[in-house]
Amino acid sequence: MNVNQQPHMASPYGQPQPGYQGYPQSGYGGQHVPGGYPAPYAPYNGPASAYQPGPPQGMRGPPTSGAPPVSAAQAYSQFGQGDIQNGPPPLGAPPQRSVFSQPFPTAAPPFSAPGPTQPPGPPLASQQTFPQAPPPSQPPFSSAPPQVPPASYGGPPPPVQASHPRAAPPTSQPAAFPGGPPPTSTPTQYTGPPMQQPPVSQPSSFHSGPPPPPTSIQGPPLASQGPPMSQANHVAPPQPGMLAGPPVPGMAGPPPQPGMQGYPPQQNGEYCRYSCCLSGSQANKGSEPFVTGVRGQAPPLVTTNFHVKDQGNASPRFIRCTAYNIPCTSDMAKQSQVPLAAVIKPLATLPPDENSPYIVDHGESGPIRCNRCKAYMCPYMQFIEGGRRFQCGFCSCVTEVPPHYFQHLDHTGKRVDCYDRPELSLGSYEFLATVDYCKNNKIPQPPAFIFLIDVSYNAVKNGMVRIVCQELKTLLDYLPRENPDVQSNIRVGFATYNKVLHFYNVKASLAQPQMMVVSDVADMFVPLLDGFLVNVSESRVVIESLLDQIPDMFADTRETETVFGPVIQAGLEALKAADCAGKLFVFHTSLPIAEAPGKLKNREDKKLVGTDKEKSLFQPQVSFYANLAKECVAQGCCVDLFLFPNQYVDVATLGVVPTSTGGSVYKYTYFQAQSDQERFLNDLRKDIQKKVGFDAVMRVRTSTGIRATDFFGSFYMSNTTDVELAGLDCDKTVTVEFRHDDKLSEETGALMQCAVLYTSCSGQRRLRIHNMAVNCCAQLADLYRNCETDTIINFFAKYAYRCVLNNPTKNVRDSLVNQCAQILACYRKNCASPSSAGQLILPECMKLLPVYLNCVLKSDVLHPGADVSLDDRAYLRQLVSAMDVAESHVFFYPRLLPVHKLDVECDTLPVAIRDSEERLSKGGIYLLETGLNLFLWVGANAQQELLQNIFGTPAFGQIDSNMTSLPILDNPYSKRVREIVESFRAQRSRYMKLMVVKQEDKLELIFKHFLVEDKNNSGGASYVDFLCHMHKEIRQLLS
Ligand SMILES: [Zn+2]
């Protein structure tokens, strides 16, 4: 069937959706429901066919009832308002992100000798009332032109056909960069650095001229290649004369045309797929939206600013594919080596002007599904026999339409109510799930949040305990809820720990909180059932009292040892006792060396780096946490871990539970209240408030011929098809790889349907469905014309980062290089027009593949410098595994903006420049963001007026490089720069701390690490050298 939707009719769902009405919320309170449920989700997949005629219930219509809008309402701030300048954040709502702590410490707090050891623990549990003596145990603590040559050498590029609706005419032309002097003919404008796409830009061709490429990636770059080589990575051939001048970034050519900076049109000339991006220019906003109804069409790049209109396929904010035309046969796929994968972010936050998925209620019998493959009703189901049956687009099986869902067909065979039902006309929507879809066939209880705070010596000393307690008092008012006018249903609980655990009874009827100490950590249990998990509004006074007292109670602790396994066990047991799903927020400082399950030893050994044993450093040192994670998943217990280490804590092991339960790990190395609390608090606020679902199971169904074979992300799998996530928030991404198991047809294309069953924060069981149809192709050229490099890189990075668990990093790097060389060699051999072997010809939409791949290869995980800690590597490895495409893009190829070129009169950002030192001018000021870090680099000769405007001092020497925020000055520059910083932060899921780096200052070394086109001091190749290496590999494959 044709999955393309017809022109959209006025959408009936133009309004906020009704919220949750269907489900009665079961009450909560401290009732203790015994018995956990080890039970699996039998129902998922299961129910389905029992359609009982019921009252026809369509989707919930436009909100007529007073139902609260589900979407926009959320209280969270992701989508900030702050984006004004930049327009909405590029892609999805990738909220902010933050950081991995830098390797540049600030003095670590001295460690004091372990305090007196704890007295033998008190009885298992002792109860005490607060302000009293401390608890006993509390001691101290191209278009391949099908056959046309891609753009190339000197000659004018072939016209690109624009197929994208919003396509803008390609402006720049691909150019070639010979190894020799740059061609002078096509003066392509060097539009400027790529924003979106860095480097390689255009060119699809690279004449390897004279200088033979260096042979090794790691090898030192051929020094002296000088100008010619360095040019090679210019987007376009530089104009003569340009070489000589000082490298003023972005200044080389004619001024970029508005909206077209940076990149030349990509493959089909999609307007801005490869152009503007960078600046997130507003120019696009307001132009034609990206409509999802055209099968096989690659969406705008993640770095562009676009509006999406759902016409039957999921928005690119939910799903991005590596290829939108997939090969018909597995032989073809194998030949090309292009990975077939989808990067799915099921609960992605959408910009305010795009509707959240509508909620559909099919009544008591639940969602309508295919009898055989269980795919959910979607636009790919074809109604036949006058509407009495439908044929599944995935498995072709014919299923009866239940009477209550019957509708007549029009003369084209379409149901007359097609556009009134999201599930028949949209790519993404939700179904209300029935009790059959609930664990143990029981309507879920509302989830709970449990805060577990390390109160050992380090935690108290660095200020963490006080900051957390203080902040929680406010944050408890912002727990996730679906309707901002209603109080959150989420219950909360509190515990603190060092070598023992302290649980707190904060029941509303108490005058003071009570502490219960559990010192026998070998067999964790929760000493109180009633009063541990409470409703915030009912127990507010007691909770505030507790949070006020905790910092003082442990202020003089001398206990330095901590446990960790029992802490998670305690939270898990509490959720089990309350018979609900939930999230644990663990605030932890040190390697858990105290005697207890999950105890760890310090195994940090940098000498293993680069050896065959390096992989062991990424593996957990004990199996305890993997087993614990499994139990957590069964209970719907998601764990978010906030680390404040002063030394090795073994992130590879501590991160196992968070990364297996859909949780997150945040790390603040050498945490100091003054300089780091802003970052920590912003992360915490966002983490607590963000949209989250619990007890989630995701399954990806595909049409006959392909199937999902591999999955990457923070989740657990107990079988080969179901991705289980104890928690799933709006930032978590799952990457799915597909393989052929049969031939595909060009006519029908290939379909995928991602269904996520989850419990909303209000306790409602729902199914979120995302559908995606792609084309199938019999010609390799079609595959290469419709790929998305950013998504391919996301896949490669996750794949490689998982491979390091079992392979030496060098092997992993080599195999990545080899696969990319095969991809490009296959293109060259089958799609490019014949030309001399000395030319490097890249498909238009993969012209940036080499530069990005090089960034992955030289990343800290795969090729660390001596200063990168093992914990940082483990942390980054885990972090990248759940990143979406926008995040992985900026993480591997940071965004670098010349701030001194800012036009304060207009809203657009200056064009981003390429990440290379030679692009920096001494007279400039640049902002660099990686999604985790934010740097403001100040050139030694920056204009005094600019310095005065931004820093409040005209003297370079007087700029305080310790500042983490810019002074608020009353001039347009100051205002604009601060707005840009804020808008960048608003786009990331984690908060980026600002670091001011003065040229030649010692911090510059850290900054330079992110100039990824340059050779780095750990041996990572420069982009130019790598390109030469790649070319050589390709030639070898071709010969
Ligand atoms: Zn089916």
Q: Residue 97 and residue 819: Cα distance in Å, rounded?
A: 30
Question: What residues have their beta carbon closer than 5 A to ion ligand 1?
Answer: 370, 372-373, 375, 392, 394-395, 397
> How far, in Å, is the centroid of ligand 1 from the Cα of 636?
29
**What is the pLDDT, as a whole number, of residue 834?**
79
What's the pLDDT band for 110 if we cut at 50, 70, 90? very low
Q: What is the mean pLDDT of the chain?
A: 78
- The label of the residue with tokens 């759940």 reads 882
> How far, in Å, is the centroid of ligand 1 from the Cα of 750?
13
What's the pLDDT band for 49 if we cut at 50, 70, 90? very low
Residue with the bigger pLDDT between 541 and 149: it is 541
> How far, in Å, is the centroid of ligand 1 from the Cα of 368?
11
583 in helix, strand or coil? strand
What tens digit of pLDDT does each residue of 771-788 get? 999 999 999 999 999 999
Reported residue count of the chain is: 1039
Q: What residue spans of 435-587 are helical by DSSP H?
A: 457-461, 464-475, 536-553, 565-578
- The label of the residue with tokens 């047991």 reads 573
> How far, in Å, is the centroid of ligand 1 from the Cα of 699?
14
Orientation angle between helical segments 536-553 and 464-475, nearest 10 degrees: 170
**What is the pLDDT, as a whole number, of residue 329?**
97
- Kindly state the helix (H) or strand (E) to which residue 948 belongs, with its residue range: helix 944-951
> How far, in Å, is the centroid of ligand 1 from the Cα of 48?
12
383 DSSP β-pair partners:
390
pLDDT exceeds 70 at position 860: yes
> How far, in Å, is the centroid of ligand 1 from the Cα of 434?
20
> How far, in Å, is the centroid of ligand 1 from the Cα of 374?
6
pLDDT exceeds 80 at position 278: no
**Average pLDDT in the 622-632 region?**
97
**What is the pLDDT, as a whole number, of residue 208?**
35
The distance from CA 436 to its chain's CA centroid, rounded to whole angstroms, is 32
CB 511 within 8 A of CB 577: no
Q: Which residues, other chains included, contact 79 with Cβ-Cβ below 8 Å and sequence gap of 6+?
A: 88, 89, 93, 95, 349, 351, 352, 986
pTM: 0.77
CA contacts within 13 A on the Cβ side of 641: 29
CB 844 within 8 A of CB 204: yes
**What is the pLDDT, as a whole number, of residue 835?**
76
CA-wise closest residue to 438 among 836, 70, 848, 767: 767
What's the pLDDT band for 462 if we cut at 50, 70, 90? very high
**Average pLDDT in the 448-466 region?**
97
> How far, in Å, is the centroid of ligand 1 from the Cα of 7?
26
| Side chain identity, residue 861 | V
Tokens of 754: 């991602």
- Of 113-127, 197-211, 267-281, give the lowest mean pLDDT range: 267-281
pLDDT exceeds 60 at position 245: no
**What is the pLDDT, as a whole number, of residue 610?**
86
**Average pLDDT in the 960-977 region?**
93
Residue with the bigger pLDDT between 165 and 937: it is 937
pLDDT exceeds 90 at position 239: no
Q: Which percentage of the chain shows pLDDT scores above 70?
A: 72
What tens digit of pLDDT does each residue of 777-819 get? 999 999 999 999 999 999 999 999 999 999 999 999 999 999 9
**What is the pLDDT, as a whole number, of residue 485?**
78
**What is the pLDDT, as a whole number, of residue 907?**
84
What's the pLDDT band for 1009 if we cut at 50, 70, 90? very high
Handedness of CA 651, 656, 657, 658 (dihedral sign): positive
What tens digit of pLDDT does each residue of 561-606 get? 999 999 999 999 999 999 999 999 999 999 999 999 999 999 999 8
pLDDT exceeds 60 at position 95: no
pLDDT exceeds 90 at position 99: no
The distance from CA 324 to its chain's CA centroid, rounded to whole angstroms, is 21
pLDDT exceeds 50 at position 997: yes
> How far, in Å, is the centroid of ligand 1 from the Cα of 769?
15
CB 119 within 8 A of CB 136: yes
> How far, in Å, is the centroid of ligand 1 from the Cα of 1023?
47
> How far, in Å, is the centroid of ligand 1 from the Cα of 764?
27
> How far, in Å, is the centroid of ligand 1 from the Cα of 44?
15
> How far, in Å, is the centroid of ligand 1 from the Cα of 584?
38
> How far, in Å, is the centroid of ligand 1 from the Cα of 381?
9
> How far, in Å, is the centroid of ligand 1 from the Cα of 369?
8
Tokens of 6: 């017809």
Q: Residue 270 and residue 131: Cα distance in Å, rounded?
A: 67
What's the pLDDT band for 195 if we cut at 50, 70, 90? very low
What tens digit of pLDDT does each residue of 941-967 get? 999 999 999 999 999 999 998 898 999
> How far, in Å, is the centroid of ligand 1 from the Cα of 298?
26
**What is the pLDDT, as a whole number, of residue 793?**
98
Q: Residue 159 and residue 568: Cα distance in Å, rounded?
A: 60
**Average pLDDT in the 542-571 region?**
97
